[in-house]
Amino acid sequence: MTPPTLATLLARPVPVVINPRSRRGAAAQPALDAGLRAADVTPVFVDPGDDLRAALTEVLADAPPLVLVGGGDGTIGCAADLVAHTDTVLGVVPLGTANDFARTLEIDPDPVRAIEQLLTGRIVDVDLGRAGRSAFLNVASLGFSVAVTERLTARSKKHLGPLAYPWATLRAYRSAGAFSARLHFPDGDHPDLELDGLLQIAVGNGVHYGGGNTVSPTASVDDHLLDVYAIERGRLREHLSIARLLRDGSLVEHDRVHHVVTRRVAISTDEPMPVNLDGEIAESSPLTFEVERNAVHVVVPAHSRAARYDG
């Protein structure tokens, strides 16, 4: 797909879908409403009781050239799934707790400033991760991260913001158990891996996850590859040493971490395990993960270094 120019998209009305159930969605509505109308863009505020996917589907039924979507990573992932492989361009307004996809695209965390950047930005193509029938933009994972997600409550995210992630991590670690898994690579680019005593497996499509952690030092949202890593369970001091490497992604070089890059991997576990997709538990193992190349047109700020392989 060849993305259009932003100027041609702004010649038509731009729908803006805001999820009020995201952490900052309701509180930001007055400022967003004023900012959007000043930019000659009319927002559509979804009712808290409405189904978000249905609301997005209704807006996208008219095939708008550009749609701005405000919410957290779960909201943005849902929108990306719906616009994938279409001509509609997605603009991200960060209103969630982690806003990792917005961080990957280098969009300003202030929603009003983000809209200003998007309306003067440029369009690039990014990849979309697929876990079975479900989509993800940042990271899919199973094991410890699922336990963390289960301990992230709406209340903790509202009151603690990004600090809710380390708080939930400490709570989850106390009860985290080990598991075994088999990683099969259908394209034959790696030999199968039989791994025991694991704490977590993660499959990264984007760059950031978990409130600013980095998938790997070389991760990119448009390199057409998945970064797959498996962390072995060890002693507390070993996990603390790994935790210090999460921010820049250098954990993939740790002795207790297995890391490969691939386009497709099938993961099976001894017992079915829930899978976390960008903060939403939506699938379970066994499951095949793959990357859909250049699947989504997105707007990024003019200064953004995201999508460095685009074109």
Give the total number of structural domains in the chain. 2
Task: Assess whether 100 and 153 both reside in one domain.
Answer: no
The total number of residues shown for the chain amounts to: 311
User: Looking at the structure, do residues 111 and 30 belong to the same domain, yes or no?
Assistant: yes
The answer to whether the bond into 286 is cis (omega within 30° of 0) is yes
User: Which of 16-25, 102-111, 116-125, 284-293 shows the lowest mean pLDDT across its residues?
Assistant: 16-25
Question: Hey, how many other C-beta atoms are within 10 angstroms of the C-beta on 196?
Answer: 11
Encode pLDDT of 138-147 as tens digits.
Answer: 999 998 777 6
Give the CATH number for residue 71: 3.40.50.10330
Decide if pLDDT at 160 tops 50.
no
Residue ranges of alpha helices (H) inside the chain are 6-9, 25-38, 52-60, 73-83, 100-104, 111-118, 144-150, 154-160, 164-173, 236-243
Mean pLDDT of the chain: 84
Task: Tell me: do 196 and 268 sit in the same domain.
Answer: yes
Contacting residues for 170 by C-beta, under 8 A, at least 6 apart: none
* Domain identity same for 148 and 124: no
* pLDDT confidence tier of residue 26, bands split at 50, 70 and 90: low
235 or 161: which leads in pLDDT = 235
Q: Is residue 308 in a domain?
A: no
For the segment 78-137, what is each residue's pLDDT rounded down to a tens digit? 999 999 999 999 999 999 888 999 999 999 998 888 888 988 899 999 999 999 999 999
Domain match, 72 and 139 both? no
Same domain, 120 and 140: no
Is residue 309 a part of any domain in this protein? no
pLDDT tens-digit readout, 181-208: 999 999 999 999 999 999 899 999 999 9
Distance CA 60, CA 82 (A): 8
Q: How far apart are CA 171 and CA 149, in angstroms?
A: 11
Give the best-scoring range by mean pLDDT among 157-166, 169-178, 255-264: 255-264
Q: Which two tokens stand for residue 73?
A: 């990573």
Asked if 210 and 85 sit in the same domain, the reply is: no
Query: Could you tell me if 122 and 166 lie in one domain?
Result: no
CATH number at residue 242: 2.60.200.40
- Say what the pLDDT of residue 188 is: 96
Residue 239 has pLDDT above 80, yes or no: no
Range of the domain at 102: 6-129+294-300
3-state helix, strand, coil in the chain (%, to 5): 30, 30, 40
Cβ atoms within 10 A of the Cβ of 35, count?
19
User: Within this chain, do residues 191 and 70 fall inside the same structural domain, yes or no?
Assistant: no
Distance (Å) of CA 303 to CA 52, 121, 126, 221, 310: 31, 8, 17, 16, 15
Residue 276 lies in a domain: yes
Active-site residues, by number, are 280
Tokens representing 152 are 């992230």
Q: To 10 degrees, what angle do helices 73-83 and 52-60 make?
A: 40
Whether residue 271 is contained in a domain is answered as yes
Neighbours of 191 (CB within 10 A): 10
Q: What percent of the chain has pLDDT over 70?
A: 77
CA distance 85 to 1: 8
Q: Are residue 139 and residue 281 in the same domain, yes or no?
A: yes
Average pLDDT over residues 234-238: 70
- Do residue 84 and residue 231 come from a single domain? no
| pTM score of the predicted model | 0.85
